[in-house]
Amino acid sequence: MSSRLRPLTRLLPAGILRFDPATLRGNSGDAWMASVLPEAVAFPRTTAQVSKILAFCHRRRIPVTTRGGGRGYVGGCVPVRGGLVLSLIRMNRILEISKADGVAVVQPGVITARLAATVARKNLFYPPDPASLKESTLGGNIATNAGGPRCLKYGVTRNYVLGLEVVLADGTVVRLGGRTHKNRTGFDFIGLFTGSEGMLGIVTEATLRLLPLPPTRSALLAEFSSLPKAAVAVQTILGSGLLPSALEIADPFTLAAARQANPRAPRCQALLIVEFDGQASAVRSDLSLATKLLRSSTARLSPAHGPHACEQLWQIRRGFSYALR
Q: What is the DSSP letter of 197?
A: T
Which H or E element spans position 220? strand 216-224
Residue range(s) defining the domain that contains residue 69:
6-87
- How do 64-67 and 84-87 pair as beta strands? parallel
- Res 324: pLDDT: 66
Instruction: Indicate if 165 and 73 belong to the same structural domain.
Output: no
Instruction: Indicate if 74 and 21 belong to the same structural domain.
Output: yes
Terminal C-alpha separation, the chain: 33
Instruction: Indicate if 44 and 121 belong to the same structural domain.
Output: no
Judged by DSSP in three states, 318 sits in helix
107 occurs within a structural domain:
yes
- Res 325: pLDDT: 64
Q: Are 223 and 274 in contact (CB under 8 A)?
A: no
- Res 281: pLDDT: 98
List CB contacts of 282: < 8 A, sequence separation 6 or more.
276
> pTM for the whole thing?
0.93
Q: CA triplet 31, 137, 203: central angle to 5 degrees?
A: 115
Q: Are 311 and 319 in contact (CB under 8 A)?
A: no
In the chain (325 residues long), the average pLDDT of successive 10-residue segments reads 87 97 95 91 99 98 95 89 97 98 98 98 97 93 95 97 98 96 86 94 98 98 96 96 96 92 89 97 98 88 95 86 68
**Among 170, 185, 212, residue at a domain's last position:** 212
182 occurs within a structural domain:
yes
- Res 263: pLDDT: 84
1 occurs within a structural domain:
no
- Select from 269, 284, 272 the least CA-distant residue to 247: 272
65: which strand partners? 85
Judged by DSSP in three states, 178 sits in coil
Judged by DSSP in three states, 10 sits in helix
197 occurs within a structural domain:
yes
112 occurs within a structural domain:
yes
CB atoms within 10 A of CB 209: 19
| Number of domains the chain contains | 3
Which H or E element spans position 162? strand 161-167
